[in-house]
Amino acid sequence: MTGWTLVALAAAVRARKISPLEITRDCLARIERLDPRIRAFITVDRTGALARAQALEADAMAGRWLGPLHGVPLAHKDLFRIAPLPTSCGSKTAEYFVCERDATAVMRLTDAGAITLGKLNMAELAMGPYGDNAHHGDVQNPWRMGHVSGGSSSGSGAAVAAALALGALGTDTGGSIRLPAGCCGIVGLKPTYGRVSRAGAMPLSWSMDHIGPMARTVQDVALMLEVIAGEDPADATASARPVDDYLAGLERPIRGLRVALADNYYFDGVAPDVARAVQEMARALERLGARVEPLRLPDPQVIHDVSGIVARAESTVVHTRILRERPHELQPAVRARLEVGERISAHDYLQALRLRARLTREFVQDVFDEADLVLTPVTPTAAPALAEVTAGDGEAIAARMGRFSRLTRPWNGLGLPVLALPCGASLDGLPIGAQIVGRPFDEATVLRAGHAYEQATDWHRRRPTPP
């Protein structure tokens, strides 16, 4: 399993070189062997996955192909409704999120032939950047046990990195796709707000939530995005804009693309090895013909703070019941974050939403006049030790959490497409990730630049050796 990419595996199934049942059995065996220590899964659907694989194998034998993911085993964050499996959202309650229909994004993957292996561990209620979870176990970083996997789509990051699944869906409200992608050395895409339907997924903050793919290569992520993106009558915020052929666009050269290397905020307090890796990535893009220039961005701290106000207020409203009726079930850090939301006034929440509109308009006008893409690190350091970041009192932990996600959160407020991909290794060998940010709905250019970089480098080929 460890050598396959999603695209290569789909092609091998199509060429009848490997059968869906064989791959699914391999994945399940790997999960059984490794997951008791990695803790990437909350629910493994062995019976359902094998039955589905068998049906897909029969289809393949008869020459019936459901779509581009025929026979590819995936797994998804445990906040997507996928009947009949329970949806805990990382909470103590097995059936926390009840919804009348399955998640649109998952249904689209299934319709394209994917197999669902099960549901993945996550930070409780998708609130937390590290991947620790008191109810379902702390997700371990497959590169080094005891180090954070990144959150909140922690199981998605770890499962893909450890080759337990070929790809996964995650969600991103303040960095929850990009942080685990960065920490686990895989690729994750937070699409433009509205590019992917949020129907059937637990909301955390409906103004800031994004659903996106996580996989081993940019090409894999492009294929998954192509399948899940697009209009959805079940989600009024899903854009009716046509979906690009992302895969076909990947091979176009990037010569002449203008790449801005963020000149303010994004390198403040960043570890030297992380800064070096991203700067080296900029040089690699230059060698591919891109024009890289430093650019001072409109103060990201403002949109960061505005996004925080909106996300806190909305998440408290969404999770009012558990906060009022069963607060003892919540981890202290989650409860503390929800309690902040109770104290945000309607005035401040609405002003934050109005400010967000203005800040986004100004950013798009000012920055994309000067550049086609913006390049930044994902996290200030490579994956820290979990014991280190969870030490001390609540206030110290919260401050650390804020610093860990300060480079990802501004992009949720601005709603722009952001690709996180590996671009280096820390002094002690852990993955380092970079963010490539593009114009609204210009996932095609973001993916193209990421793919060109991947073709010129080897960082995406590095694999952890899980325990």
Partner 1 sequence: MSAPGPDPARAEAASMAALIERAEADLAIAEEPSRFAAALEAGAPAGDRREARPA
Asked whether position 324 contacts partner 1 by CB under 8 A, the answer is no
92 annotated active-site:
no
Residues 428-447 that bind partner 1 (CB under 8 A): 439-442, 445
Distances (CA, A) of 426 to 151, 159, 295, 349, 379: 19, 21, 25, 39, 12
Query: Which candidate in 19, 91, 153, 176 is catalytic?
Result: 176
Give yes or no for residue 240 binding partner 1 (CB under 8 A). Answer: yes
Task: Give min distance, CB of 433 to partner 1, in A.
Answer: 24
Residue 109 CA to residue 348 CA, distance in Å, equals 39
- Beta carbons within 8 Å of 15's beta carbon, 6+ residues apart: none
- Asked if 340 touches partner 1 (CB under 8 A), the answer is yes
User: Which residue, 341 or 464, has its beta carbon nearer to partner 1?
Assistant: 341
Window 174-203: residues binding partner 1 (CB under 8 A): 192-194
Could you tell me which stretch among 128-136, 383-391, 394-402, 455-463 binds partner 1 (CB under 8 A)?
394-402
Nearer to partner 1 by C-beta: 48 or 402?
Answer: 402
Question: Is 197 designated active site?
Answer: no
Contact status: 348 vs partner 1 (CB under 8 A): yes
- Could you say whether residue 357 binds partner 1 (CB under 8 A)? yes
Stretch that binds partner 1, among 19-27, 108-116, 171-179, 236-244 (CB under 8 A): 236-244
Residue 255 near partner 1 by CB under 8 A? no
Euclidean distance between CA atoms 12 and 15, whole angstroms: 5
Apex 58 CA angle, 54 and 63, nearest 5: 145
Question: Which one is catalytic: 19, 88, 149, 152?
Answer: 152
Active site residue 176: yes
345 lies in the site for partner 1, by CB under 8 A: yes
Q: How many residues does the chain have?
A: 467
Question: For partner 1, which stretch binds (CB under 8 A), given 29-37, 104-112, 249-257, 361-369?
Answer: 361-369
Calculate the CA 243 to chain-centre distance.
Answer: 20
Residue placing its CB nearer to partner 1 in the complex, 146 or 392: 392
Q: How far is the CB of 395 from partner 1 (least distance, A)?
A: 6
114 is written with which tokens?
Answer: 């994917």
Restricting to residues 263-322, name those near partner 1 by CB under 8 A.
Answer: 302, 305-306, 308-309, 312
* Among residues 33, 101, 354, 462, the one that binds partner 1 under rule CB under 8 A: 354
Residues 95-134 that bind partner 1 (CB under 8 A): none
**Is the CA virtual torsion 285, 287, 289, 291 positive or negative?**
positive
Whole-number minimum distance, CB 415 to partner 1, in Å? 5
Beta bridge partners of 419: 189, 436
Cα of 417 vs its chain's centroid, Å: 12
Q: Kindly indicate which of the ranges 3-11, 73-81, 237-245, 259-267 contains the residues binding partner 1, using the contact rule CB under 8 A.
A: 237-245
Omega before 152 cis (within 30°)? Answer: yes
- The window from 82-90, 112-120, 352-360, 458-466 that contacts partner 1 (CB under 8 A) reads 352-360
Contacting residue, 18, 66, 275, 336, with partner 1 by CB under 8 A:
336
Residues contacting partner 1: total by CB under 8 A: 48
CB of 418 to partner 1, least distance (A): 14
Residue from 94, 145, 350, 387 touching partner 1 (CB under 8 A): that is 350
Q: Which residues bind partner 1 (CB under 8 A)?
A: 192-194, 207, 237, 239-242, 244, 302, 305-306, 308-309, 312, 336, 339-340, 342-345, 347-348, 350-358, 360-361, 364-365, 368, 394-395, 398, 415, 439-442, 445
Indicate which residues carry an active-site annotation: 77, 152, 176
